[in-house]
Amino acid sequence: MDPNTGQPRHVWIAAAVILTGIVLSGPVAVTLVEVLAPQPKWQGIATFIEHYSWLQTLPYAFGFLIAGGFILLFASVPVEEKQGGHNLRRMALGFAAVSAALIYFNYVLQLAFIPLSLQESPSIVAVMTMANPNSLGWALEMFGYAVLGIGTAFIAPLFHRSKRQRMIGRLLVLNCLVSVLGAALMPFVPGWVLSPAGMVLGAAWNLLVVAIMVLILLEFRVGRR
């Protein structure tokens, strides 16, 4: 690996963190919630409060790993000054920082604000909770990941040193398209995020990010030249 500015070992670590966040916040946490404390389809704040459990916050707790992992990933990708790599990485980091701010703010709402406000401010909870497909929480989530997707498009050209890296770059651009599409649909198709089509697109996004991170783990594995 060309020892230009960047930390290949940290790229591997970042991919491992993101992959862990995807697995724990998705299959693991969602399964636990569905088995132990399921929340019915949104019918109003009274039904939500009746079925609320702290277990329903697990996906958000593990979600912090995803946004934070992308910041480490973007900061660690090796760059070559002669190819303008530093500017691309700065742009990607800027979008990642904005994305993390939106996503982290949403997860703080879901983890701390909502449990504390269930009884005192139920009308505000109805606007915030991601159990409601038309909530502020979903707007922050979808637009946060859309901004992150733009960041992945900026970082994609830096993956060019091998056939596998070029595949990673193409998938990062695809992630941008999928993420921006998801956010763009929100104002025009109310509630689509929790519809069957929304669930399919969400699953596709998760599988896409898993594929990217697995390829990065293989490309930047410890001990590989």
The pTM score is: 0.92
Q: What confidence tens digit (pLDDT) does each residue in 92-121 have?
A: 999 999 999 999 999 999 999 999 999 899
Q: What confidence tens digit (pLDDT) does each residue in 20-72 have?
A: 999 999 999 999 999 999 999 999 999 999 999 999 999 999 999 999 999 99
Q: What confidence tens digit (pLDDT) does each residue in 180-209 have?
A: 999 999 999 999 999 999 999 999 999 999
Query: Tokens 């994305």 label which residue?
Result: 99
Per the prediction, the chain carries an average pLDDT of 93
pLDDT band at residue 79 using 50, 70 and 90 as cut-offs? confident
Sign of CA dihedral 11, 174, 199, 101: positive
pLDDT band at residue 1 using 50, 70 and 90 as cut-offs? very low
Q: What CA–CA distance (Å, rounded) separates 60 from 220?
A: 28
Residue 77 in this model has a pLDDT that exceeds 50: yes
108-126 burial, b at 16+ Cβ within 10 Å, e below that, comes to ebbbeebeebeeeeeeebb
